[in-house]
Amino acid sequence: MLLDVLQAGEGVLRRPARPLAIEDIPGRPIQELIGHMRDTMRQAPGVGLAAPQVGIPLQIAVIEDRADILESLDPAILAETERRPVPFHVIINPAITLGEETVEFFEGCLSVARFGALVPRARYVSVDCWNERAERVHIEAAGWYARILQHEIDHLNGCLYLDRMRTRSFMTVENYGKYWKGRSVAEMRQALESEEAAGG
């Protein structure tokens, strides 16, 4: 079953989600929710989906960066963003620790449909959480996977990428494809800084 993905402006997207009781994870309602979230994420398509995005204020997110999608992307961009396939998995009640190094890339969101912006994120993170089998999990992630984790955990804390973005880089996905796709983040940043300096 596909779920409706809520858009920015819905209150549930701006409130911290409540932790899920561990004993509830194996139950049918949560297992069905996880399945519906997985199907909705894949249909979108997206690389992550948090329960608040479908109107459920619980600390659950599903993540997957499929190899078949990456095959269609420029290898140079994949290398620059350190993006590799990530198998489907679930994070529940996550606690995240951010590394010190920050990187900046263009990022979108299913709840801010058709827009994106440059967003600085930690290059490395560690996450402690529970999985869909009610097992404790420790994740060490780098590159794009670390970005996905930060983005989804932000959703669980009532935060959107809009709160972290480089505001002058905010644009439609269509215009990103028209003007910036295939260009490096360094080029994009330099152009934006030049426009800002020129008062553009």
In 51-162, DSSP assigns E strands to: 60-65, 86-98, 102-108, 115-122, 124-130, 136-142
- The Cα angle at residue 100 between residues 93 and 146, in degrees rounded to 5: 45
Catalytic: which of 32, 152, 174, 195?
A: 152
d(CA 130, CA 35) in angstroms, rounded, equals: 16
Whether 152 is catalytic is yes
d(CA 189, CA 197) in angstroms, rounded, equals: 12
Q: Tokens at residue 156, please?
A: 């669980």
Catalytic positions = 152
